Amino acid sequence: METGGASTPPPSRELPRIRRLEESVVNRIAAGEVIQRPVSAVKELVENSLDAGATSINVIVKDGGLKLIQVSDDGHGIRYEDLPILCERHTTSKLSTFEDLQSIRTMGFRGEALASITYVAHVTVTTITKGQLHGYRTSYRDGAMEQEPKACAAVKGTQIMVENLFYNMAARRKMMQNNSQDDHAKIVDLLSRFAIHYEGLSISCRKHGAARPDVHTVAASSKVESIRGVYGPSVAQSLIKVEVSYNDPSSAIFEMNGLISDSSYVAKKTTMVLFINDRLVDCSALKRVIEVVYAATLPKASKPFVYMAIKLPPEHVDVNVHPTKREVSLLNQEVILGQIQSAIEGKLRNCNEAMTFEEQTVGPSASPLVAANTRDYPSPLCVGSKLQKTPVQKMVRTDSSVPAGRLHAYMQAKPITDSENMTSLTALRSSVRQRRNPKETADLTSIQELVKEIESNCHSGLLDIVTHCTYVGMADDVYALLQHNTQLYLANVINLSKELMYQQTLRRFAHFNAIQLSEKAPLLDLLLLALKEEDLDMEETDDSLSLRIAEMNTEILKQKAEMLEEYFCIHIDEDGNLCRLPVILDQYTPDMDRVPEFVLTLGNDVDWDNEKSCLQTISAALGNFYALHPPLLPNPVGDGLRYYSERKSVDSSGGSNHRAAKGKDVVMEDKIDHELLLEAETAWAQREWSIQHILFPSMRLFLKPPTSMATNGTFVQVASLEKLYKIFERC
């Protein structure tokens, strides 16, 4: 393996060398992704404390967390024997096999957090386990323990001190130094959220040296009490309780308990405190659904305050869609969202009616706490604003920060339960459509033409298959097995996803959300990388030619940056770095290993002179980039496994310092590169998950299969069950 070795001649002046990054640099980048800001480190540490059974957690923060984050808990502590490997990557006490991932209940499980933090900060751990007379203290750097743990006095539990965060990432540190107020506020906000959800937990957070904490809740105060303490009385007074308990094994099983604001609460921004299986997460689809209900039901169309706790079987939540485990996807998401939506709609409507009839009974609002303790909130609490009968479509906010295209997904996916819902939905839908065609969106006629072409080129037979098929599973790396009525088909997932992404790019044109890259990627390097990959097959490589091509393409893309940003949310900064990419399907990020190839396609294959073909080629390039290609690491199932053992035997001569300490026979018995293998397994499992839970549901809603797919091998009919049954009957 090449690691920027000394044996190669020094690079010529004009040619920047592409080198494999040193492992510690790679780790630092990965750490930067998991630990984006100080608040991400706090979240990981607090979750570890909760996993350790803590009932009291105290946090001290200096300079918004950049100088110091100290989290002390009274949990079960860390065993002395575990201290040496505590901060290695993929060390966790919570997971040992891949199958465990399916049933994991704790918050952390990837064993990445502490390791990540040690790559970007100095970490000191003090801990004591039950029954010990004294504790131990030691420190870590770059994934390794720095010295033998020293005995020390300690109180129950663990204290983790993180100092000088991002000390080795100058740019990030500089950027953050001006933001320490903001970071502190984010940390306080995070801890407040935990405080609300965990009633049995006492939690506090203060600035280093400050006498008074910024958050302090005591164990056993009620949720409404905590909300009052943290978000103020006006929020607490406006709360309505919502509950859903749904148990239909054929569609979804879940329980939801929530406290949501009524019409008396006014805010510009939604506050959403969401815990799924006791884990603080985001679910943008759910947030959107709730905002739409508020917009459609309440006259004032204020953004809501929502606290919500959802419990569902752990195997129904996918927390791996996001590097920080923050954004989750749910199995049968549409059903769950639909149920929650109707529940909230019902509550808000009741609340509206109550206002018209009980306007005079303002009295009891003085004692919201009493209400908080009853099973359901009495309606007088909702008194506060007059009800005007406004047609639903007028209540929809025309706020352009909520791109209408995104509503689409849930609108169509949601099972409609009653006729009332139906009317409000139809109204919403039409207003959504109106908003989808305002001037700034699609008045480029070429985009409209391209979208029309998709419609007119759609194959009705295939459309029927795509919208009504059942996904059976992956037959190999490329083909999925589908059942449609009594027919079985093999469908090429790469072709399908490429087309879907292309079509969605055109539909979301100029209305994308952004995926922010954790590190800017210089176009020149990306292009050189891509050219090098291409050249691998060729006999001779001309480095200076590659460099010229790369420079030329960088220049072109820099010139087109404004247009790429405005229409496609592909952000390239003045220095020629790629910084942002568009969200084409919600909750889906493309395989970043394919960025170089994508950038090269943009540079080489786009026809910049003709508007229509320019937009089309860019969309096609995005389609290809975002398609669900097989991961670049070989599939570790079956023969592919060999790849991982061979690599290891090449590597083992140099590396694995950590293990060497334990004994010389260890290296021998362990020939598989487990880290790489785990990475491959995760990548493949994640892809399969995305195919089932993102690709197929989205295809059902959005894909208009082009006629060419009927003949180009995208769909292959493999069997007709009728015929099979007949055969079986004969047997």
Residues that bind ligand ADP (CB under 6 A): 44, 48-49, 52, 73, 75-78, 86, 91-94, 108-115, 158
Query: Least Å distance between CB 119 and ligand ADP?
Result: 12
How far is Cα 39 from Cα 257, in angstroms, rounded to an integer?
26
Query: If binding is defined by CB under 5 A, does position 48 make contact with Mg ion?
Result: yes
73 binds, among Mg ion, ligand ADP, none (CB under 5 to 8 A by kind): ligand ADP
**Buried b vs exposed e over 410-443: b needs ≥16 C-beta within 10 Å?**
bbebbeeeeeebeebbebbeebbeebbeeeebbe
Q: Is 145 or 578 the residue whose CB approaches Mg ion more closely?
A: 145
Query: Least Å distance between CB 570 and ligand ADP?
Result: 34
Q: Is 27 or 379 the residue whose CB approaches ligand ADP more closely?
A: 27
How far is Cα 398 from Cα 431, in angstroms, rounded to an integer?
9
The residue type of 133 is L
Which has the closest alpha carbon to 83: 45, 60, 114? 114
Q: Backbone phi, then psi, for 2, in 5-degree steps? A: -85, 125
Neighbours of 295 (CB within 10 A): 20
CA atoms 236, 346, 427, 411: torsion sign: positive
**Buried b vs exposed e over 95-113: b needs ≥16 C-beta within 10 Å?**
beeeeebeebebbbbbbbb
Length of the chain as a residue count? 731
124 binds, among ligand ADP, Mg ion, none (CB under 5 to 8 A by kind): none
261 binds, among ligand ADP, Mg ion, none (CB under 5 to 8 A by kind): none
Q: Is 109 or 567 the residue whose CB approaches Mg ion more closely?
A: 109
Query: Least Å distance between CB 557 and ligand ADP?
Result: 39
Query: Least Å distance between CB 685 and ligand ADP?
Result: 17
CA atoms 282, 288, 294, 295: torsion sign: positive
DSSP state of 133: S
List the one residue from 113, 190, 280, 407 that touches Mg ion (CB under 5 A). 113
How far is Cα 159 from Cα 52, in angstroms, rounded to an integer?
12
Please say whether the beta carbons of 161 and 61 come within 8 A: no
Q: Is 77 or 636 the residue whose CB approaches ligand ADP more closely?
A: 77
448 binds, among ligand ADP, Mg ion, none (CB under 5 to 8 A by kind): none
Q: Is 92 or 577 the residue whose CB approaches Mg ion more closely?
A: 92
526 binds, among Mg ion, ligand ADP, none (CB under 5 to 8 A by kind): none
Which range in 106-114, 297-305, 370-378, 437-445 contacts Mg ion by CB under 5 A?
106-114
Q: Is 93 or 448 the residue whose CB approaches Mg ion more closely?
A: 93
Query: Least Å distance between CB 459 and ligand ADP?
Result: 47
Of the CA atoms within 13 Å of residue 18, those in its CB half-sphere come to 17
Query: Least Å distance between CB 483 and ligand ADP?
Result: 38
DSSP state of 699: H
- Interaction residues for Mg ion, span 199-258 (CB under 5 A): none
Q: Is 198 or 626 the residue whose CB approaches ligand ADP more closely?
A: 198
Q: Is 110 or 484 the residue whose CB approaches ligand ADP more closely?
A: 110
How far is Cα 69 from Cα 42, in angstroms, rounded to an integer?
7
Query: If binding is defined by CB under 5 A, does position 108 make contact with Mg ion?
Result: yes
Query: Least Å distance between CB 100 and ligand ADP?
Result: 11
Query: Least Å distance between CB 644 and ligand ADP?
Result: 23
Please say whether the beta carbons of 483 and 472 come within 8 A: yes
Which has the closest alpha carbon to 236: 351, 381, 82? 381
Query: If binding is defined by CB under 5 A, does position 115 make contact with Mg ion?
Result: no
86 binds, among Mg ion, ligand ADP, none (CB under 5 to 8 A by kind): ligand ADP
- Interaction residues for Mg ion, span 600-639 (CB under 5 A): none
49 binds, among ligand ADP, Mg ion, none (CB under 5 to 8 A by kind): ligand ADP
Query: Least Å distance between CB 96 and Mg ion?
Result: 15
How far is Cα 102 from Cα 98, in angstroms, rounded to an integer?
8
Residue matched to tokens 């943009």: 602
Question: Distance between terminal CA atoms of the chain?
Answer: 57
Residue nearest to ligand ADP (CB): 108
Q: In the beta sheet, which residues pair with residue 582?
A: 514
Q: Is 113 or 432 the residue whose CB approaches ligand ADP more closely?
A: 113
Query: If binding is defined by CB under 5 A, does position 49 make contact with Mg ion?
Result: no
Query: Least Å distance between CB 203 and ligand ADP?
Result: 14
Q: Is 111 or 590 the residue whose CB approaches ligand ADP more closely?
A: 111
Query: Least Å distance between CB 74 and ligand ADP?
Result: 10
Please say whether the beta carbons of 184 and 172 come within 8 A: no
Query: Least Å distance between CB 40 and ligand ADP?
Result: 12
Query: Least Å distance between CB 87 and ligand ADP?
Result: 7
Q: Is 48 or 379 the residue whose CB approaches Mg ion more closely?
A: 48
Query: If binding is defined by CB under 5 A, does position 32 make contact with Mg ion?
Result: no
92 binds, among Mg ion, ligand ADP, none (CB under 5 to 8 A by kind): ligand ADP
Neighbours of 174 (CB within 10 A): 10
141 binds, among ligand ADP, Mg ion, none (CB under 5 to 8 A by kind): none
Q: Where are the beta strands (DSSP E) in 168-297?
A: 202-207, 215-217, 239-248, 252-261, 271-276, 279-280
Helices (H), 569-673: 595-605, 611-626, 641-651, 657-660, 665-669
Which range in 48-56, 120-128, 133-141, 282-290 contacts Mg ion by CB under 5 A?
48-56
CA 179-185-189 angle, to 5 degrees, is 145
Query: Least Å distance between CB 319 and Mg ion?
Result: 12
590 binds, among Mg ion, ligand ADP, none (CB under 5 to 8 A by kind): none
Q: Is 43 or 408 the residue whose CB approaches ligand ADP more closely?
A: 43
Q: Is 103 or 390 the residue whose CB approaches ligand ADP more closely?
A: 103
Which has the closest alpha carbon to 95: 678, 684, 670? 678
Residue matched to tokens 């309606």: 379
Which range in 110-118, 406-414, 478-486, 493-501 contacts Mg ion by CB under 5 A?
110-118
Residue nearest to Mg ion (CB): 108
How far is Cα 6 from Cα 21, in angstroms, rounded to an integer?
14
Q: Which residues bind Mg ion (CB under 5 A)?
A: 48, 108, 113
